[in-house]
C-alpha cells in the first residue's frame, strides 16, 4: 500500500464529519500544524478529538475549536485557551479530562488491540468514582458527568481509545518523500537523537507509560515541518 501523499490536503481529504482524530504533540511542540490547517480548510466538523491539549487561541487545535468544528475533547491539559473555557462552560463542548499517562496508555492499547488495562492513576478521585463534568447545560448545571469505573486492589479499569486516524501519522506519510533526501534524514536524525537524550534523563515524561515513540516522532516532525515541501 502506497502511503505517500502529495499534499496535506490529500492526507486529510477522507476524514469525515464526526471523526475521532488523535492529534499528536505536547502543548504547541510537535503538533501537525499544516494538517490542522488542511483539516480546517477541508470542512469536517463535529470532531471528537483526542489530544494532550486543544491548542491555544488561534494556534494548533485552537483553530478548529474557534471555528466550532470540535464537539468533544479527551485530553489531559486544558489551560491557556480562553475560547476552550468559554465553550466548555457554555455547554458547547464536551470535555473528558484524563490523566496524561492514562491517555497515552489508552491510545497505545487502541493501536495494539488491547481492549482494556488497569492503572493506579485516578483511584480515589472523580476519575474513578464518577462526577467529573463532561458537559454543562447553558444554565450552568451539569448535563453529562463521568460514569463510575471498576476499581480493584488499588487499580482503576480503563478502556482503549479507538481513533479514526492520526494526523501525525498522515503527516509522516506526507513527509516521506522529504525524508528520503539527505537533508531530511539528517534533520530527523538530529531530532530523534535529541529526543533520545531527553528520554534517557527522564525529561517531561510520565512514569510507567509508553510514550517514547510518540516523543521521538513529535520531535522529528517539529524539525521536518519547518522545511517540508508540502508546507
pLDDT on residue 128 = 96
Residue 10's nearest CA partner among 175, 226, 194 is: 175
**Any idea what the Cα angle at residue 187 is, between residues 59 and 13, rounded to 5°?**
45
As a three-state string, the secondary structure of 8-21 is HHHHHCCCCCCCCE
pLDDT in tens, 200-214: 333 332 333 333 333
pLDDT on residue 206 = 30
pLDDT on residue 209 = 31
How far is Cα 134 from Cα 97, in angstroms, rounded to an integer?
8
How far is Cα 133 from Cα 88, in angstroms, rounded to an integer?
10
Write out the three cell numbers for 48.
471528537
**Beta strand ranges found along the chain (DSSP E):** 22-23, 47-51, 70-75, 94-97, 116-119, 133-136, 142-145, 151-152, 155-159
How far is Cα 61 from Cα 55, in angstroms, rounded to an integer?
5
Residues 82, 84, 85, 89, CA torsion sign? positive
Residue 88's nearest CA partner among 67, 69, 72 is: 72
pLDDT on residue 178 = 38
pLDDT on residue 95 = 97
Question: Phi/psi zone of residue 43: left (φ > 0), alpha (ψ -120 to 50 degrees), beta?
Answer: left
pLDDT on residue 2 = 77
pLDDT on residue 31 = 93
pLDDT on residue 186 = 53
Q: Which residues does the chain have with pLDDT short of 50?
A: 166, 168-185, 187-231
pTM, to two decimals: 0.72
How far is Cα 175 from Cα 230, in angstroms, rounded to an integer?
7
pLDDT on residue 164 = 62
pLDDT on residue 140 = 94
Amino acid at each position: 500500500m502506497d502511503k505517500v501523499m502529495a499534499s496535506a490536503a490529500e492526507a486529510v481529504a477522507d476524514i469525515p464529519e464526526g471523526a475521532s482524530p488523535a492529534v499528536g504533540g505536547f502543548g504547541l511542540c510537535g503538533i501537525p500544524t499544516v494538517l490542522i490547517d488542511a483539516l480546517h480548510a477541508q470542512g469536517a466538523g463535529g470532531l471528537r478529538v483526542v489530544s494532550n491539549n486543544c491548542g491555544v487561541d488561534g494556534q494548533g487545535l485552537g483553530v478548529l475549536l474557534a471555528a466550532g468544528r470540535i464537539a468533544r475533547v479527551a485530553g489531559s491539559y486544558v489551560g491557556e485557551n480562553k475560547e476552550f473555557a468559554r465553550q466548555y462552560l457554555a455547554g458547547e463542548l464536551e470535555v473528558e479530562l484524563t490523566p496524561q499517562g492514562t491517555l497515552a496508555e489508552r491510545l497505545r492499547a487502541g493501536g495494539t488491540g488491547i481492549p482494556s488495562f488497569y492503572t493506579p492513576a485516578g483511584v480515589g478521585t472523580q476519575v474513578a468514582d464518577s462526577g467529573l463534568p463532561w458537559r454543562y447545560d447553558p444554565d450552568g448545571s451539569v448535563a453529562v458527568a463521568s460514569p463510575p469505573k471498576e476499581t480493584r486492589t488499588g487499580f482503576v479499569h480503563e478502556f482503549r481509545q479507538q481513533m479514526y486516524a492520526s494526523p501525525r501519522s498522515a503527516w509522516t506519510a506526507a513527509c516521506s518523500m522529504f525524508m528520503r533526501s539527505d537533508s531530511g534524514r539528517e534533520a530527523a536524525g538530529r531530532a530523534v537523537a535529541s529526543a533520545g537524550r531527553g528520554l534517557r534523563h527522564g525529561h517531561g515524561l510520565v512514569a510507567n507509560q509508553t510514550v517514547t515513540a510518540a516523543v521521538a516522532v513529535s520531535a522529528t516532525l517539529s524539525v521536518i515541518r519547518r522545511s517540508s515541501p508540502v508546507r
